[in-house]
Structure 1
């Protein structure tokens, strides 16, 4: 077996994920998280300095190693939850049977992973399952009730793909260490969005009242409604840049602001790429048609979402839209069919 190929058992099995792919995933996670990790450390130590030098020393000692404790707690919690779900969920037997079939298709030791039914009845429109620390492959109760047997296997094969694509413990650590900066960014975005919404109330009322008026008046109202949130966002960005410049200097502040703003977009793109990679694993294991059925179900939920959310999806969502995933799965199925035909002819 080639050294660059990642295999989950000693027996010969399908090449599911190349080592270079997992390497690129891990490096990508680290690169897009590094600015927030640095900013988080700066925030922790800066806030500690406001209290006293003694707290700076404590933060310098505790914060770098806190991730190990959080990681251990996460593994213990996910393991305990999986055990509770296994004993309490009536759907566990169906999921265990489906997982056994996926393990046979992948030629791996299925006992190395724990199938788990998440006791929720609804789906968020993007996922029917997920992968966790401690080698858990999870499906929602909604998935067990709504999907066919083949579709359930396709979801589990997709989650196996996530387990193979990268080390989930590293992603957990990165999420923890960038947490303070992410919280600050989300708070700032929430405040800006709220201000923009409040400032739009007046222009929207004017536009609504004048929608029967002359076309130039209607156009003016529409422009005002559109300009207000843009002005708020630009003003907020200018304020952030001004504060950053005072502490970092203008060149460094410009780079920092651009990187921090671009981070969510880069993370979303990386996450979408990982979804395509997990879909590829499901297709390689022979569940392409069943995965198409799952994606068609998700497409129905997707079509019900507001148009403005769908327009921003390619930039901000962690998952590609179901129709994009369907096209990718179709392309993979065609490649797989051609490869099978070539093997048979040779």
Structure 2
């Protein structure tokens, strides 16, 4: 990594909101409305006044993720992050200084934390935290470490981190309720008890009747349709955000280094785990059938797509 290269002056605009972040907020709006209804319904059962107060409190709870102490608590307790040791802090300060100098961003705007995960990766959290995995700290040279930090800075500058945090927070009650309903119905329908099977069938029919009434009788088919396709749209927007953050890192001059990291992670995710020799052969990482294969296959598609995108950006095809 060539130090003291690139931009040295601060940009007048430190961060913004690109289309991927903006559309993520727009797409999540129907699910957020359902969440607001869920919060109001649960507390209105206790007291109508409490239901109204909780609706207002829920609406104003989202911006708390930008409060530094709240953000630090979320990073520590829910994302498994911790503050770096003095030695790690000195190394990160040197690498992060080069990244922010090239980007024209204030170095002190963001805090670097360590995340105990076995991946060559980093994570952008809420508004001010970038988490670097311990595996990346131990395995990557400074140039490649700077590449993944530049990628995460691209998420922050593009507004992907805070938009994603707000979207996930406001959609949490609706998604939790949906998971509970699906899990309960699946357990009843798959049970060998005929009473449980009967209850599962009746509740499934009631759910279908409710959705039919909501969509066609009350004319809110658009809400049902949007909530149903929201997960697909969110997944597509996440891929767009990753591509934009890759472009940002490439624009700062870390394209080749980022491609090397992605290629290494792609190889780690697609290479099957080693097995012991026969006759005492046992899986190195036992799991449920199909779980590991599905996860590796999904990661294979993501990293392969990002590698192709970066390859086209660095070496565009000749016409």
Q: How far apart, CA to CA, are the structure 2 residues paired with 1:198 and 1:283?
A: 53
**Match in the other structure for 2:4:** none
Query: What is the RMSD computed on CA atoms of the aligned residues?
Result: 3.8
Q: How far apart, CA to CA, are the structure 1 residues paired with 2:241 and 2:203?
A: 32
Q: How far apart, CA to CA, are the structure 2 residues paired with 1:174 and 1:90?
A: 36
**Match in the other structure for 2:149:** 156
**Match in the other structure for 2:34:** 39
Q: Name whichever structure is richer in helix by fraction.
A: 1
Q: Structure 2: which 5+ residue stretches go unaligned?
A: 1-6, 193-200, 273-290
**Match in the other structure for 2:139:** 146
Mapping 1:176-325, distance limit 5 Å = 176-191=169-184, 239-246=206-213, 249-250=216-217, 252=219, 254-303=221-270, 304=272, 306-309=292-295, 313=298, 321-325=302-306
Moved more, 292-301 or 103-112: 103-112
Query: Residue 16 of structure 1 contacts residue 284 of structure 1 at CA under 8 Å; is this kept in 2?
Result: no
**Match in the other structure for 2:70:** 74
Query: Residue 275 of structure 1 contacts residue 320 of structure 1 at CA under 8 Å; is this kept in 2?
Result: no
Deviations 1:45-87 (A, max 9, x none): 122222232322322432222324454353353688999613x
Paired residue for 2:124, among 131, 148, 155? 131
Query: Residue 9 of structure 1 contacts residue 108 of structure 1 at CA under 8 Å; is this kept in 2?
Result: no
Q: How far apart, CA to CA, are the structure 1 residues paired with 2:75 and 2:117?
A: 21
Deviations 1:19-65 (A, max 9, x none): 6xx34133211221111111011111122222232322322432222
TM-score (norm 1): 0.68
Quote how far apart the aligned CAs of 1:179 are: 1.3
Paired residue for 2:312, among 306, 328, 331? 331
Q: How far apart, CA to CA, are the structure 2 residues paired with 1:50 and 1:247?
A: 21
**Match in the other structure for 2:280:** none
TM-score (norm 2): 0.74
Q: How far apart, CA to CA, are the structure 1 residues paired with 2:137 and 2:101?
A: 20
SS state at 2:253 partner: coil
Quote how far apart the aligned CAs of 1:197 are: 7.2
Mapping 1:27-106, distance limit 5 Å = 27-69=22-64, 71-72=66-67, 74-77=70-73, 85-86=83-84, 88=85, 90-106=87-103
Q: Structure 1: which 5+ residue stretches go unaligned?
A: 1-7, 200-233, 339-346
C-alpha change, 1:136 and 1:59, in structure 2 (3 Å) is closer
Quote how far apart the aligned CAs of 1:114 are: 2.3
Deviations 1:212-243 (A, max 9, x none): xxxxxxxxxxxxxxxxxxxxxx9997653312
Q: How far apart, CA to CA, are the structure 2 residues paired with 1:150 and 1:279?
A: 15
SS state at 2:114 partner: strand
C-alpha change, 1:58 and 1:108, in structure 2 (3 Å) is closer
Q: How far apart, CA to CA, are the structure 2 residues paired with 1:136 and 1:309?
A: 27
C-alpha change, 1:191 and 1:290, in structure 2 (3 Å) is farther
Q: How many residues align?
A: 283
